[in-house]
Structure 1
Amino acid sequence: MTQPYVKQTIENEVATIEFFHPAHNSLPGDVLADLAQTIIDAGNNNDIKVIVLKSGGDRTFCAGASFKELISINDEATGKIFFSGFANVINAMRTCPKFIIGRIQGKTVGGGVGLAAATDYCMATKFAAIKLSELNIGIGPFVVGPAIERKMGLSAMSQIAIDANTFYPAEWAMQKGLYTKVFDSAEDLDKAVVEFTENLKTYNPKAMTEMKTMFWRGTEDWGQLLAQRAKISGRLVLSEFTKETLKRFK
């Protein structure tokens, strides 16, 4: 696999949405836009009862934002548009009327932690360590922060946001509420995801939609909130500190 993609497969009323990028599943703007639209379309498809979100490859779930695009940002408007990519995906997941099940096979960083947090039920392997590395480059997890705080609590979110050099193990993430279960292998994870979704799709879809609305109560302002957070990140990415730091990644 060498080309980025977002693809969806539907089998027995379960939609699997998979994204991939050869740079450790980092996500540029076009892939984020495609991912957001695919989630919206799946939410509107009456042939789908449950959605599974996963990434391609065996090792990294998501390395977060694309450094190649970060380096190329030269004005605040472009910066806001770039960081709005993750905001749009999170909001698509939040407003989707179907439960989204996360399948996290490996390490996840920055925006990838936000995607995992925005799922409604998330399972992982023991290799799925997490890190919020944004402070390392002079910004912060502003856009994904609300989703992570909602799932893990302010204390855990602030801990990993400040300790931006450390990968926290999957077991820790499970204890803090990000993951519901942690498995020894991707094979065990996939088996559990299939069993879980096969059972979940037998439930009343209207009841699941009402439950999802209940679970996400209090996030109705996220359309505006995440846009404001994207603007903050778009401004900070232009700082001298961040520009100098990003040069190391060229």
Structure 2
Amino acid sequence: MEPYVKHHIQENIATIEFFHPEQNSLPGAVLAELAQTITEVGQRDDVKVIILQSGGDRTFCAGASFKELIAINDAATGKVFFSGFANVINAMRKCPKFIIGRIQGKTVGGGVGIAAATDYCMATQFAAIKLSELNVGIGPFVVSPAIERKIGVSATSQIAIDANTFYEASWAREKGLFAQVFPTLEELDAAVWAFAQHLCTYNPEAMLEMKKVFWRGTDDWDTLLAERAAISGRLVLSDFTKQKLEKFK
């Protein structure tokens, strides 16, 4: 199957779905389309709530595209590459509608940042998370502000430093990343849809004002995440990282 970003609207609920055949890893083109879709759908008057999900039933998101990562040869290209997840997170932050995350399986790196940037996140018991960036000589610089906002600096530093370990969905729930965890995908889908329908009964103006309150203090993220992308773009050119990437390749 080809990569895609698609959406549909039903009962004032917009479902945005992304997919990539390589475990939902996200190249720059898909990230750009995802950010644009979130922005455009969020502005629609017939949408009250957004569900964000990925295709397939095993992995929510494997992070950045490895093929694009190993092809980076200069700092400017590196910054553009790592800005992809920054643009998605900022689109989610600025979206005037609540975004419900539907996390069906494992998520790594930038995918954890996307999950953290949702306003309410629900998952299956198979949705373990990992920040693996340190393994290749970089770090989760772009996504860590969103993750820290949800689970705090202590928990974020734990998974960022312990870059080889998948942390179970139950751990993510205890720390506040996931609001609810379900035994099966079917139970997750039923709960996500029921919750979205319930949110549609609330006052849209109240939800908008609540979202502004919840994201208070993040007005500098356009600049902050761009600066973080530049750090990653520089580090990916280091001899250490190039050697690591060759081994993974």
TM-score calculated relative to the size of structure 1: 0.99
Which residue does the alignment assign to 1:246? 245
Q: Mapping of 1:83-98 within 5 angstroms?
A: 83-98=82-97
> Aligned equivalents of 1:82 and 1:117: distance in 2?
20
Q: Mapping of 1:1-250 within 5 angstroms?
A: 2-250=1-249
- Structure 1's unaligned 5+ residue stretches are none
Structure 1 vs Structure 2: percent identity of aligned residues?
74
Residue 249 of structure 1: how far off its partner (Å): 2.8
Residue 40 of structure 1: how far off its partner (Å): 0.1
> Aligned equivalents of 1:80 and 1:122: distance in 2?
28
The letter for the 2-side match of 1:123 is M
Report the aligned-residue RMSD. 0.4
- Structure 2's unaligned 5+ residue stretches are none
> Aligned equivalents of 1:58 and 1:104: distance in 2?
9
Runs of 4+ in structure 1 displaced over 2 angstroms? Answer: none
> Aligned equivalents of 2:244 and 2:133: distance in 1?
11
Residue 248 of structure 1: how far off its partner (Å): 2.2
> Aligned equivalents of 2:223 and 2:67: distance in 1?
27
> Aligned equivalents of 1:210 and 1:90: distance in 2?
19
Contact 1:55 1:62 (8 Å CA) reproduced? yes
Residue 239 of structure 1: how far off its partner (Å): 0.4
Residue 247 of structure 1: how far off its partner (Å): 1.1
The letter for the 2-side match of 1:156 is A
Contact 1:111 1:144 (8 Å CA) reproduced? yes
Contact 1:67 1:249 (8 Å CA) reproduced? no
The letter for the 1-side match of 2:156 is M
- Number of aligned residues: 249
> Aligned equivalents of 1:248 and 1:52: distance in 2?
37
The letter for the 2-side match of 1:240 is D
Residue 213 of structure 1: how far off its partner (Å): 0.2
The letter for the 1-side match of 2:217 is G
> Aligned equivalents of 1:249 and 1:60: distance in 2?
20
Residue 119 of structure 1: how far off its partner (Å): 0.1
Contact 1:105 1:186 (8 Å CA) reproduced? yes
The letter for the 2-side match of 1:220 is D
Residue 202 of structure 1: how far off its partner (Å): 1.1
The letter for the 2-side match of 1:239 is S
> Aligned equivalents of 1:236 and 1:66: distance in 2?
17
> Aligned equivalents of 1:45 and 1:75: distance in 2?
39
> Aligned equivalents of 1:119 and 1:42: distance in 2?
15
SS across alignment from 2:39: helix
